[in-house]
Amino acid sequence: MMGMSQTQNVQKVQEVMEKAKEDEVFIASLTREELEKTGFDLSEFVQFEFVNIYLIFNDEKEKYKIKYIFDNDPREFYYESEDAVGGREALIEILADYLS
């Protein structure tokens, strides 16, 4: 059974996904430790203090991407596609984690 916060997170994720169809949406700013706690594999990334996370929608492909910008440096970015994380449901779970 879903707790209240879980249901609220799913609603938040759905709102964010709708907004992303119009424009890139800011999701969260997390420290390196907070990002690692979500299960994100940091082994391939240089040292950083924080990451800003955005959701982007690609109209042509009807798919979402998560964009990570490290230490607010536009040259230090990483994209994670919906397919790369295991599909739409997995993406929703990741976003719910980031929003909580």
Number of independent structural domains in the chain: 1
pLDDT in tens, 57-88: 998 999 999 999 999 999 999 999 999 999 99
Q: CA–CA separation, 63 vs 95, rounded Å?
A: 14
Residue-level pLDDT at 5: 67
Task: Give the number of other CB atoms < 10 A from CB of residue 64.
Answer: 22
**CB of 71 closer than 8 Å to CB of 45:** no
Phi, psi of 84 (to 5 degrees): -65, -30
Query: What range defines the domain where residue 12 resides?
Result: 4-99
Percent residues over pLDDT 90 in the chain: 75
